[in-house]
A and B are shown apart, each in its own frame.
Chain A
C-alpha cells in the first residue's frame, strides 16, 4: 500500500510501540487510524534516543524495560496491515536495533509485514547511500529521511533525490517535544525543500494542536504528531488511552477535512 494522504493537511501519528504495552499500542493504533490518521509511525524503542525530548525518551525507556523489541514492532505492523489495509505504515527507529536485527533480514521482514517505509533517525544520507538504500529499494520499501532548517540546499537536493513516500521536515532546530508556536524556520524550510521534490512534505517536531495543524496546512502537506500523543498516553490509563488518542486526533481537524487533490 503506497503512502498517501486522504486529507489536507494529512496527519501522521507517532506511537512508541510497547508503551505501555504492545497490546495497548495496537488498540491505540487502530483508534488513531479510525480517527483520521493517514500514516502511522511505529516507533522502535531504544535505550539511547538522543534526538528525542523527555516525553518520548521516557516512553522509550518504559518500552525497553518491558522487553519490547523490533520483533514486536514488526509483528504489530503485520497485525495492523491486516486490520487496516489502507493506512500507511512507517517504521521509525534509531539505526542500531535495525543493524542488530540484520539489515536485509529487517527489510525483508518489514516488507512481509506490510510496512511501507522506514525512517532511521540517526542515519544521514551519506551513511544511507550504498548498502542501506540498496536493501530498502530491493525490498520495495520507501526510504524516508529527515531534513532540518540547518540542512543546506545541497543536502536537501541529495536527500530529496533518494526519498520515497514523503520527506519529513523538522520544524525547528532541536529535539522532539511540544511547543507553543510553530517556529518561523518551518515555512522557509518547506519552501526550500519544495524546489527539489514532488513528494508530500510532512512537518513535525513541536506540532501538537489544531492551530499548528491549520497553520502548517498553508504550506506543508501533512503534520506529524509525536510527543503530544505519547504524552497523552503517558498520563492516561491504558484502557482509556485509545479513546483519548482518537478524540485528540479528531480535535486536530476542527473543520471537516477537505478531500485532497494531491
Chain B
C-alpha cells in the first residue's frame, strides 16, 4: 500500500490531509482561518473556559478506584471522570468550542453526525444554549439502540434525521451529514464530533479535548507526585483518547493505550478493530486506517457500542500507531459488558459501553502489573444511554439477574 506524497497540510506523518469534494474546500479554508484566529484570541479562550467550568462542569475528578484496584491486584487504577460532564460524556468539550466558533463565523445552522448519540446530544445542547438551528444525522440502527439519546436531542429542539443506507450506523450518518454540508455550505457549520474528517477537524477537535489530559497530569501529580504508567482510553474515531493522550505524547515513560471494539469475532464485518484488521485508505475526508476489502470497498463493522462502531480512525492515531508512540488493542463485546458489570459493582460507576472497552483493558492488564504502576482510565461517558442494551445483554429484567457476575 503506497501513500500519497504528504503535502504537510494537516498531516500526521503520512496520515490526514483533505480528501473532499471541491465544493467544501472554501468552507474548510474558512474554518481553518477562523479557528486559527479564535485560538489566538484571549476573549474566545476566556469565553470557552468559562463555559467549560460553569456549564459543562470542568475540571472533572480524577478518582482512585480503590476497590477495583484491590479486586484486580497490581496497579493503582484511577478513573478520569469525563462521565460526570454535562450531557454525560466528553463530547461537550468539542461542541462548546465549535459552537462558539460557528457563532464567530456567523453560521446559524449546525449539522452533526452521531453514533451513540452522545455527540448529537452535546451538539443539540450547545445549539439550545447558543440559539442555533440543529440537525443531527443518525443511522437508523443507532437510533434504535440508543433511543433515549434520540428523545433527548428532540427535547433539546434538534431535528434528528435517520439514515437508512449501508449499515445504518455512524459511517452512513457522516455520509449524509457531508451531503447536507456540500449542499448548504454557505450557511451551515458541520460540527464534526471526532478527530476525523478533513483538515482542520482532526487537529481542532483534539485541541478542544486536550484539556482532559492536561487535567490528568495536574491531578495525578497532586495525588501521586508523579506521572501515570499508562493512560488507557477507548478509540472509535478517537476523540476522547486524543484528548487524554495528547498532553503525554512527549513523556515516553507514560504508555498510551487505545482500545478498539473487538466486537463478536476477528472476521471482517464483525468488529471495528482498524489497526489489527484494516489498512491505510481514504474515507470521509482523511487518509487513515480503514476496514476495507481488497477492492477498496469499506467494510461493515460491528460493536455492541455504537460509538466505536466505525470503519476508520482518526489520522493522528494512525500516525501514533505506526510510530509506536501509542499501542492499540481491542476488547470484545463480552469483555466490555463484563467490565461494565465489574465497575458497577466495585465502584458504583456505570460506564458507557464505549468507555467500558477501556475499563476492560485495565482489568486485563492490572493482575500482571506491578503495585507501583498507576493506570489512568478515561471514563469518557456514562452508561445511562445504554440501559436498553445492558438490560437485554445482562438479563436485568429480573428473572436471570442473579446470573450476572
Contacts of B7 in A (CB 8 A): 126-127, 129-130
A149 to B186, CA, bound (A): 11
Contacts of B19 in A (CB 8 A): 95, 122-124, 127
Task: Judge whether A145 and B22 touch: CB under 8 Å.
Answer: yes
Residues of A within 8 A of B (CB): 46-51, 53, 57, 61, 64, 69-71, 94-104, 121-124, 126-127, 129-132, 145-152, 155, 159, 170, 173-175
Task: Judge whether A173 and B186 touch: CB under 8 Å.
Answer: yes
Residues of B within 8 A of A (CB): 1-2, 4-5, 7, 9, 17-27, 165-166, 171, 174-175, 178-179, 182-186, 280-285, 290, 292, 294-298
Task: Judge whether A174 and B182 touch: CB under 8 Å.
Answer: yes
Contacts of A126 in B (CB 8 A): 7, 9, 17-18
Task: Judge whether B296 and A97 touch: CB under 8 Å.
Answer: yes
Task: Judge whether B183 and A151 touch: CB under 8 Å.
Answer: no
Can you give 21 contacting A-B residue pairs, CB < 8 Å? A50-B21, A94-B282, A95-B19, A96-B298, A99-B1, A99-B2, A100-B281, A103-B2, A122-B282, A126-B18, A129-B7, A131-B4, A145-B22, A146-B23, A148-B22, A148-B23, A150-B24, A150-B25, A151-B26, A173-B184, A173-B185
Beyond A97-B296, A149-B23, A173-B186, list 4 extra A-B contacts (CB 8 Å).
A51-B21, A94-B282, A98-B296, A127-B19
A124 to B182, CA, bound (A): 14
Task: Judge whether B182 and A132 touch: CB under 8 Å.
Answer: no
- Nearest CB of chain A from residue B202's CB, rounded to whole Å: 15
A102 to B19, CA, bound (A): 17
A147 to B297, CA, bound (A): 26
Q: Which 4 A-B pairs have the closest CB atoms?
A: A100-B296, A130-B5, A97-B296, A148-B23
- Nearest CB of chain A from residue B380's CB, rounded to whole Å: 26
- Nearest CB of chain B from residue A193's CB, rounded to whole Å: 12
- Nearest CB of chain A from residue B174's CB, rounded to whole Å: 8
Q: A48-B166, A97-B297, A101-B296 are in contact. Are A122 and B20 (CB under 8 A)?
A: yes
Task: Judge whether B297 and A174 touch: CB under 8 Å.
Answer: no
A-B contact count (CB 8 A): 135
Helix, strand, loop or mixed for chain B's interface?
A: mixed
Contacts of A95 in B (CB 8 A): 19, 282
Contacts of A98 in B (CB 8 A): 296
Task: Judge whether A48 and B1 touch: CB under 8 Å.
Answer: no
A148 to B185, CA, bound (A): 12
Query: Considering residues B182, B290, B296, which has the most beta carbons from chain A within 10 angstroms of its beta carbon?
Result: B296
Task: Judge whether A96 and B183 touch: CB under 8 Å.
Answer: no
Task: Judge whether A50 and B179 touch: CB under 8 Å.
Answer: yes
A209 to B178, CA, bound (A): 27
- Nearest CB of chain A from residue B172's CB, rounded to whole Å: 8
Contacts of B27 in A (CB 8 A): 150
A124 to B20, CA, bound (A): 7
A235 to B186, CA, bound (A): 34
Task: Judge whether A96 and B282 touch: CB under 8 Å.
Answer: yes
Contacts of A131 in B (CB 8 A): 2, 4-5
Query: Considering residues B17, B25, B186, B280, which has the most beta carbons from chain A within 10 angstroms of its beta carbon?
Result: B25
Cβ 8 A contact of B23, one of A103, A145, A170: A170
Task: Judge whether A50 and B178 touch: CB under 8 Å.
Answer: yes
Q: Of all chain B residues, which has the CB nearest A68?
A: B295
Task: Judge whether B282 and A150 touch: CB under 8 Å.
Answer: no
Q: A100-B295, A102-B2, A122-B282 are in contact. Are A127 and B21 (CB under 8 A)?
A: no
Cβ 8 A contact of A96, one of B23, B182, B185, B283: B283
Cβ 8 A contact of B295, one of A49, A70, A132: A70
A145 to B23, CA, bound (A): 12
Query: Considering residues A46, A104, A147, A150, which has the most beta carbons from chain B within 10 angstroms of its beta carbon?
Result: A150
A131 to B296, CA, bound (A): 19
Query: Considering residues A130, A148, A152, which has the most beta carbons from chain B within 10 angstroms of its beta carbon?
Result: A148
